[in-house]
Chains A and B, each alone.
Chain A
């Protein structure tokens, strides 16, 4: 049930067009976040906002992948050139026949593994095209999961917005991701955007729930800490179960 009284009525206009909304979100204007929360359909419009950002970023990624292919050397030829170069290094003369064979086999295995990892960092056009579906999907899943947790923590810390209002405001925290469209130019590093999203999230929660800066800070941070805690706990639990199974297996063999 939507709690219309939770967020005080704003004197400003309701939710604006896409670009003015993005600009308002990027410049941390509370009116923009309030408008998104007070929207008639905050979840539906939040979803549309995320899908639009995701598609723009993914399409830019496809173009970027195409340009990357055009300006990049052929990976297979590069791989062969590196391997041949390694085979011709003088330090190999220090080893005898059988030692050299063994070393070559190990080096080949390591080289193949490293090359597989390196190749993974240069996604092809096909992978980038798949991003048109998966990028908005990833945004939506993250928005739902994080939004639920952040809403819970904000309410615990004294906030009074409804869940749809929280989701509406938090959709604007994805606005900085639109700047990833600059990756239409290959090799551009956009690492600073994650911090910008976090700051937008803080402003969204503070505005929509009407909580103090300190509480908004914790409402922003706690979902991340919870996810890390759960991930570490799961990892430890799986490790313990695996260790117990191995101990039982080897104990049975003895």
Chain B
């Protein structure tokens, strides 16, 4: 069986919260390798889609063209404000707005000039510059996911063990790698409006997957698993709230 043959079954099982899928990773001595392979594969797939989008949109318009477009949009916005009455009747406010607009336009013009110099003095043709930028974005995504997966895995396991869980670090990381499954939707992040909504759905779904993974890895109930998952966020929030309260009380006492 090919090393990557179980990616799709793991994806399906994770998305529908199939017990057997989660338990197989927990109980398999090679579970961590399978989980790691799954997480990296999904991250690379998402990164590839986003990189392709970045590459083609980067090739279709240069940075100086994008800045020119931004300058046009700012002009149109100010014309719209003036069309609605703007600051008519207040010469000082109008003068300030005109000064701000002049400086913003000058800044954009400076940006366009810098972009042109950058293009002219870069040895490589533009296609290679955009290619490597897109490739870097694609390859950076697995590392970002790995870092978060490891950090949250360690923190969650710490609290899960405190709350009576019995999972090992290998089991916790193996099963929690399934959190990558809903993030397949991140590949559509470039879509206007819909991209943000899909990202939100992915995040909420991933939280559910993570809670289940914690429960299965540590052989604990969903309530305690939820507490273990959220304790690392709750502690800094509670500490910050206490600190703020202490400052308010102290400043109220001095006032």
Partner of A187, one of B133, B143, B145, B150: B133
9-residue interface stretch from A80-88, A138-146, A237-245: A80-88
Residues on B with C-beta less than 8 A from A77 are: 117, 120-121
Asked if B117 and A70 make an inter-chain contact with CB atoms under 8 angstroms apart, the answer reads no
Within 8 A of A (CB), among B96-137: 99, 102-103, 106-107, 109-111, 113-114, 117-124, 128-129, 132-133, 135-136
A186 proximal to B (CB < 8 A): yes
Asked if B144 and A192 make an inter-chain contact with CB atoms under 8 angstroms apart, the answer reads yes
How far apart are A128's CB and chain B's nearest CB, in angstroms?
16
Q: How many residues of A contact B (CB 8 A)?
A: 42
How far apart are A96's CB and chain B's nearest CB, in angstroms?
17
Residues on B with C-beta less than 8 A from A188 are: 136, 139-140, 143
Residue of A nearest to B153 (CB): A199
Number of chain B interface residues as a range? 35 or more
Asked if B110 and A88 make an inter-chain contact with CB atoms under 8 angstroms apart, the answer reads yes
Partner of A78, one of B118, B124, B168: B118
B151 proximal to A (CB < 8 A): yes
Mark contacts of A195-220 with chain B using CB atoms, 8 A cut-off: 1 yes-contact digit, 0 otherwise: 11001001100000000011001000
Q: A23 to B99, alpha carbons, bound, how many Å?
A: 61
Asked if B107 and A191 make an inter-chain contact with CB atoms under 8 angstroms apart, the answer reads no
A190 proximal to B (CB < 8 A): yes
A98 proximal to B (CB < 8 A): no
B170 proximal to A (CB < 8 A): yes
Asked if B132 and A186 make an inter-chain contact with CB atoms under 8 angstroms apart, the answer reads yes
Asked if A71 and B173 make an inter-chain contact with CB atoms under 8 angstroms apart, the answer reads no
How far apart are B137's CB and chain A's nearest CB, in angstroms?
8
A137 proximal to B (CB < 8 A): no
B33 proximal to A (CB < 8 A): yes
Interface of A is mostly: helix
Within 8 A of B (CB), among A48-66: none
Residues on B with C-beta less than 8 A from A82 are: 110, 114
Mark contacts of A18-40 with chain B using CB atoms, 8 A cut-off: 1 yes-contact digit, 0 otherwise: 00000100111000000000000
Q: A191 to B132, alpha carbons, bound, how many Å?
A: 19
Partner of B169, one of A72, A84, A192, A203: A203
Mark contacts of B169-197 with chain A using CB atoms, 8 A cut-off: 1 yes-contact digit, 0 otherwise: 11001000000000000000000000000
Residue of A nearest to B137 (CB): A187
Asked if A90 and B99 make an inter-chain contact with CB atoms under 8 angstroms apart, the answer reads yes
Asked if B103 and A90 make an inter-chain contact with CB atoms under 8 angstroms apart, the answer reads yes
Asked if A191 and B147 make an inter-chain contact with CB atoms under 8 angstroms apart, the answer reads yes
How far apart are A95's CB and chain B's nearest CB, in angstroms?
13
Residue of B nearest to A87 (CB): B110
Some 23 contacts from A to B, beta carbons below 8 A apart, are: A23-B33, A71-B133, A72-B122, A77-B120, A81-B113, A81-B114, A82-B110, A82-B114, A85-B111, A89-B107, A182-B143, A185-B139, A186-B136, A188-B140, A188-B143, A190-B140, A192-B145, A192-B146, A193-B146, A195-B150, A199-B169, A203-B170, A213-B168
> Contacts A73-B118, A196-B150 given; 12 further ones with Cβ under 8 A?
A27-B30, A71-B128, A71-B132, A77-B117, A81-B114, A84-B113, A185-B132, A189-B143, A190-B143, A191-B147, A195-B147, A195-B154
Binding site for A on B (CB under 8 A): 30, 32-33, 36, 99, 102-103, 106-107, 109-111, 113-114, 117-124, 128-129, 132-133, 135-136, 139-140, 143-148, 150-151, 154, 158, 161, 168-170, 173
